[in-house]
Structure 1
Amino acid sequence: MKGFKHLAAAAILAFTSMTVFAQGEKNNWYFGKGAGIIFSGDSAIATSSRLFTEEGSASLSDKDGNLLLYTNGITVWNRNHKVMPNGNGLMGGKSSTQSALILPKPGSSNIYYIFTTDIQAQSDGLRYSIVDMSKDGGNGDLVFKNNFMIAPATEKLTAVQHSNGRDWWVLAHRWNSNGYMAFLVNSEGVATKPVMSMVGTVHGGPNRKAIGYLVPSPDGTRLAAALWNDDSNFEILKFDRSTGKVSDPILLKGYAEAYGVVFSPDGSKLYGTTYDKKSGKGQVVQFDMRAGSPDAIAKSAVVAGISGSPKIGALQLGPDGRIYMARKDNYYLGVINKPNVKGTACDFVDNGFHLGKQKSDLGLPNFQQIDSKQNMSAR
């Protein structure tokens, strides 16, 4: 294992306020080719796991940061890195962008839902399975698998906490449609019918256009989507946490192989991964969410970082307030050390985090948005 070698001096950290989640649900990451990270406060340590995936994965820990379970959308492992009873055969895809997402059932201390997406809008679609953590001596058991929700759907899958602070909205997108779907998850279970919002770009055409991330802003009031293709786009929308409605799309055009997308901790910046055809390298593009009009946001685009890797993928905000970037077949993740800061001053480092003997692929773990009242002025 190798620790995170911070590029900033400790003196800088002393006066830099950080976003650290009130709970530790996001402290254990498992992704790529057996790769992993364990977060604790401001430290990040490389580790390994049994999970191998080309793209999507999901993990969840308890509020104290203790690992509960993780999955690539096909197999589920427990806290001891062993396959759970009945933990094989989920209908996600290891090459689905957001193949899985894990949510606690509101009002329960033992029940968790695992939502999965099939690859490239195939017939398995969006489904969910149920884990009972009270089973198998407290290590968990899959007690219900692959309940059908809807098909075809894209590879996009995320969740936002309801405005009541208790329930969840699970968000996905219909295929060959401009329909965003918000499924309510509450103490009674998972809603059978979603709140539909016919808004924004049609996600359709060749099946590979189903690729790309969907993520919420830290406060859950915005969504951002990457629409992957040779000549592809990013899309920003508003989200109503009370009604589940999506509205007011902003299209950011012309970003080849748009794939990863993430908001900065304070929501002021949006980052996306793309491919520069001229240089043959991956790029991280930053948009200023406070630029003003949709046109001004589009024109605020700046290349915040260039990778030595031609294929870069997911972006994910870490519990330490930094943004991590997946690099295909690489022993390093890229890191944005100061994601709230404008332009190249955000401090993108291509070889920012060493994964030890394991390699990244295109994905990083998929997490729900958690409503945090903490200081969002990180870095």
Structure 2
Amino acid sequence: MINLKHIIVALSLSLSGFSAAAQGETTNWYFGKNAGIAFKPDTAIVQTNGRLITEEGSASISDKDGNLLFYTNGITVWNRNHRVMPNGNGLMGMKSSTQSALILPKPGNDSIYYIFTTDIQAQSNGMRYSIINMKKDGGNGDLVYKNSFMIAPATEKLTAVKHSNNRDWWVIGHRWNSNAYMAYLVSAEGVSVQPVVSNVGTVHGGNNRKAIGYLTPSPDGTRLASALWDDESNFEVLSFNKSTGVISGPILLKGFEEAYGVVFSPDGTKLYGTANGIGGGKAQVIQFDLKAGSAAAISKSAVVVGTSASPRIGAIQLAPDGKIYIARKDSNYLGVISKPNAAGTACTYTDNGFHLAGKKSDMGLPNFPQGITKTKQSGQASK
């Protein structure tokens, strides 16, 4: 005879497991001018308690159950109580760097976290990392090691992909005045001194403003997309080997002035980018069909799926609810793509998609690594 009590207990455990998976490490976002969001199962809740102010980059991290741990603009680190951590000032990122910070847990250690940072526009601070010990300060965390040098000069691009062993990480940046992507292995032994160097694709160089723009992995970590900011700027899609850290097979998508943000759809079949026109004033969200075939076919698949009332839009980030959120400069709203797997305008872009309750977005949203948590699928994939 089936025991009804056991069924109820099993169902309860299943639902609680779903809740944890739906939340997790990317639950809490802090960005812009004191703006914030907390993602719960099937809903996004505005947060107004954040202390962070940034023009562009930020990063935040929560525990596996969705409880906030800390967040940063690449210069200052705030703990779960929204107070500056001990030693939590003086990181060598910059609040006007595209991806000023990225947070990773240390493999094999549940209390140590790395904060990687990038300087503005290929300046001398370059890429660096700092270390937080969450066992310090009564479990609120302490910044115990700062600004270990990695590479300079570097662009403002900074991301990470989970290694194929599902334990370690690849932290990826780009050398300035070069076509070299740099992939640093992060393991239980620490951060590798020598990166895997892939000389591939477009040279990132010239006027220092060309260092601007996002670098983002696909949800499965096998591809990267880069936004190359300039008056005649481009997007670039590349393949990534999660076992070796090697980057290859660049596909250049030309002619999107002031390209800034870039993100893949949850199912990996679409690429979205933000572009603003020369000097701003032509803020658009563009979708590419990555299943179109050849590089030329992918380029020709470009379609504008949304325009913004804001003069500029910036970061474009996939959220735990399966939707894509778009940063609008100096706006009380974020743009939202509700069905990002769907083709063309069926993806449903809403310019005033999420109200920030009096706080303001700027050009950035939190920077998260691939593989840190699962994202809910949203929308229909085209056939």
TM-score normalised by structure 2 residue count: 0.92
Deviations 1:80-132 (A, max 9, x none): 00000000000000000000000000000110000000000000000000000
Question: What residue in structure 2 maps to residue 47 of structure 1?
Answer: 47
Matched to 1:47, the amino acid is Q
C-alpha distance in structure 2 between counterparts of 1:279 and 1:232, whole Å: 13
Deviating above 2 A after TM superposition, structure 1's stretches of 4 or more consecutive aligned residues are 18-23, 276-281, 371-379
Asked whether the 8 Å contact 2:258–2:276 carries over to 1, the reply is: yes
Asked whether the 8 Å contact 2:321–2:375 carries over to 1, the reply is: no
Q: In structure 2, do the counterparts of structure 1 residues 305 and 172 end up closer, same or farther at CA, with 3 Å as the change threshold?
A: same
Matched to 1:255, the amino acid is F
Unaligned residue ranges in structure 2 (runs of 5+): 1-17
C-alpha distance in structure 1 between counterparts of 2:38 and 2:326, whole Å: 16
State the Cα distance separating 1:47 from its structure 2 match.
1.1
Question: What residue in structure 2 maps to residue 128 of structure 1?
Answer: 129
Matched to 1:165, the amino acid is N
Q: In structure 2, do the counterparts of structure 1 residues 45 and 23 end up closer, same or farther at CA, with 3 Å as the change threshold?
A: closer
State the Cα distance separating 1:42 from its structure 2 match.
1.1
Question: What residue in structure 2 maps to residue 264 of structure 1?
Answer: 265
Question: What residue in structure 1 maps to residue 64 of structure 2?
Answer: 63
Q: Indicate yes or no: 2:22 matched with 1:34.
A: no
Deviates more, 1:22-31 or 1:332-341: 22-31
Q: Judging by fraction of residues, say which structure has more strand.
A: 1
State the Cα distance separating 1:280 from its structure 2 match.
2.9
C-alpha distance in structure 2 between counterparts of 1:276 and 1:188, whole Å: 45
Unaligned residue ranges in structure 1 (runs of 5+): 1-17
State the Cα distance separating 1:20 from its structure 2 match.
9.5
SS in structure 2 of the partner of residue 298 of structure 1: helix
State the Cα distance separating 1:376 from its structure 2 match.
4.7
C-alpha distance in structure 2 between counterparts of 1:293 and 1:236, whole Å: 12
C-alpha distance in structure 1 between counterparts of 2:372 and 2:141, whole Å: 26
Q: Residues 91-170 of structure 1: matches in 2 within 5 Å?
A: 91-170=92-171
State the Cα distance separating 1:281 from its structure 2 match.
2.4
C-alpha distance in structure 2 between counterparts of 1:20 and 1:160, whole Å: 22
C-alpha distance in structure 2 between counterparts of 1:165 and 1:307, whole Å: 39
Deviations 1:115-161 (A, max 9, x none): 00000000000000000000000000000000001100000000000
C-alpha distance in structure 2 between counterparts of 1:279 and 1:29, whole Å: 26
Q: Indicate yes or no: 2:225 matched with 1:188.
A: no
Question: What residue in structure 2 maps to residue 25 of structure 1?
Answer: 25
SS in structure 2 of the partner of residue 334 of structure 1: strand
State the Cα distance separating 1:373 from its structure 2 match.
7.5
Matched to 2:217, the amino acid is P
Deviations 1:281-320 (A, max 9, x none): 2000000011111111000000010111111000000100
Question: What residue in structure 1 maps to residue 247 of structure 2?
Answer: 246
Question: What residue in structure 2 maps to residue 213 of structure 1?
Answer: 214
Asked whether the 8 Å contact 1:221–1:238 carries over to 2, the reply is: yes
State the Cα distance separating 1:23 from its structure 2 match.
5.4
Asked whether the 8 Å contact 1:332–1:354 carries over to 2, the reply is: yes
Asked whether the 8 Å contact 2:231–2:277 carries over to 1, the reply is: no
Asked whether the 8 Å contact 2:53–2:73 carries over to 1, the reply is: yes
TM-score normalised by structure 1 residue count: 0.93
C-alpha distance in structure 1 between counterparts of 2:134 and 2:102, whole Å: 16
Q: Residues 180-329 of structure 1: matches in 2 within 5 Å?
A: 180-276=181-277, 280-329=281-330
Matched to 1:284, the amino acid is V
State the Cα distance separating 1:247 from its structure 2 match.
0.1
SS in structure 2 of the partner of residue 344 of structure 1: helix
Asked whether the 8 Å contact 1:19–1:374 carries over to 2, the reply is: no
C-alpha distance in structure 1 between counterparts of 2:314 and 2:198, whole Å: 27
Task: Give the number of the structure with larger relative contact order, counting CA–CA contacts within 8 Å between residues 6 or more apart.
Answer: 1
Asked whether the 8 Å contact 2:99–2:156 carries over to 1, the reply is: yes
SS in structure 2 of the partner of residue 33 of structure 1: coil
**How many percent of aligned residue pairs carry the same amino acid?**
72
Aligned length: 362
SS in structure 1 of the partner of residue 52 of structure 2: strand
State the Cα distance separating 1:275 from its structure 2 match.
1.7
Q: Judging by fraction of residues, say which structure has more helix.
A: 2
Question: What residue in structure 2 maps to residue 90 of structure 1?
Answer: 91
Matched to 2:297, the amino acid is A
Deviations 1:21-45 (A, max 9, x none): 5551000000000000011011111
Q: In structure 2, do the counterparts of structure 1 residues 45 and 188 end up closer, same or farther at CA, with 3 Å as the change threshold?
A: same
